[in-house]
């Protein structure tokens, strides 16, 4: 073999040896880590239920002036997010004069300040910010009592006989 070939073979061997040493050294100083990330949104879930013996959708029949009827509504946060507040919206249909004579009082359980205090049912639609519950954390419950009284004016109210009306109650929950 000629000296050029021997010299070339030596350089090639040296280069290969150096690359193996450098490559091996690099492997000793490398590292990697993997993470798996996930995102899940929470839930806002208001559950409306009656108490043990009350009816959620109440129907009061055969009312006469002076009658009082009561209902209890339980608002529960079945979601995973805090509920900032629950606001009541109402819609009334039917005989307007009967709606003027039905008086409403609604009070949160444990409170002495009524949310609605002896107002005609016909005015209930116009009352703003009827907050029934505030700061409901997951699995917490808020109870409120609602009383309906057929106003007795002390005079004949024959024009109200046989009249009907309906009250739609819409509970709007908003997140914190």
pLDDT one-digit tens code per residue, 120-161? 988 888 877 678 788 899 999 988 888 999 999 999 999 999
pLDDT one-digit tens code per residue, 68-114? 998 888 889 999 999 999 888 888 888 889 999 999 998 888 888 88
Q: Label residues 71-82 b or e (16+ Cβ within 10 Å = b).
A: bbbbbbbebebe
Q: What domains sit in the chain, N to C, each tagged with a CATH number?
A: 46-175 (2.60.40)
Q: In what order do the strands lie in the sheet with 165-175?
A: 131-136, 83-94, 165-175
DSSP letter assigned to residue 18:
H
DSSP string, 114-169: -SEEEEEGGGTTT----EEEEEE-TT-EEEEEEEEEE---SS--GGGTT--EEEEE
Lookup result for tokens 């129907």: 59
Residue 38 structure tokens: 């996930």
């Amino acid at each position: 073999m000629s000296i050029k070939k021997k010299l070339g073979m030596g350089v090639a061997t040296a280069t290969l040896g150096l690359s193996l040493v450098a490559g091996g050294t690099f492997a000793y100083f490398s590292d990697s880590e993997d993470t798996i990330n996930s995102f899940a949104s929470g839930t806002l879930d208001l559950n409306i239920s009656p108490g043990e013996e009350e009816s959620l959708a109440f129907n009061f029949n055969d009312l006469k002036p002076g009658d009082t009827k009561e209902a209890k509504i339980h608002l529960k946060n079945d979601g995973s997010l805090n509920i900032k507040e629950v606001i009541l919206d109402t819609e009334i249909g039917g005989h307007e004069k009967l709606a003027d004579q039905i008086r409403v009082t609604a009070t949160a359980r444990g409170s002495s300040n009524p949310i609605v205090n002896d107002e005609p049912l016909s005015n209930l639609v116009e009352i703003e910010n009827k907050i029934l519950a505030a700061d409901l954390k997951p699995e917490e419950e808020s109870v409120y009592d609602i009383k309906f009284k057929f106003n007795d004016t002390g005079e004949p109210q024959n024009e109200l006989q046989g009249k009907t009306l309906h009250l739609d109650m819409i509970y709007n929950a908003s997140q914190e």
